[in-house]
Amino acid sequence: KIESEIVTTEEELEGFYIVKSILRGVSDVSKLEHKDTKNYLGINLYGKVNKTVCRLYFNGKKKYIGIIDANGKEVKKEIYNLDGIYGIAEFLKDRIIYLTEGKYVSDIRKVEAE
């Protein structure tokens, strides 16, 4: 069974808590849930896959955080440690505002340029 191969690491949980702390002032973070898959830890609003805030790719040699843009396309940003999540805080806040209010404030594609 594939589910038995999925292990949620301490690092993934820490990443989840960092995302929650970033979003605390913007949204009701009690509505955030995480779901681990073989490839990433998904952080979703209400536990719904179509309400993905971000995905943490921590299982490979490099670490990435993926955020869904206004077109539904995932934009990945490499981070070197958990503190790297703070570097894209504005995009995480934008994403949660979009999921709760239906609008984006800034252009998520700028993540790639940074």
Average pLDDT along the chain: 88
Residue 113, both tokens = 């340029």
Q: For residue 107, what pLDDT is reported?
A: 57
Reduce the DSSP state of residue 88 to 3 states and report it: helix
Reported as a single tens digit per residue, the pLDDT across 16-37 is 999 999 999 899 999 999 999 9
User: Hey, which residues does 67 pair with through a beta bridge?
Assistant: 75
Across 3-13, average pLDDT: 86
pLDDT at 54 over 60: yes
The pTM score is: 0.85
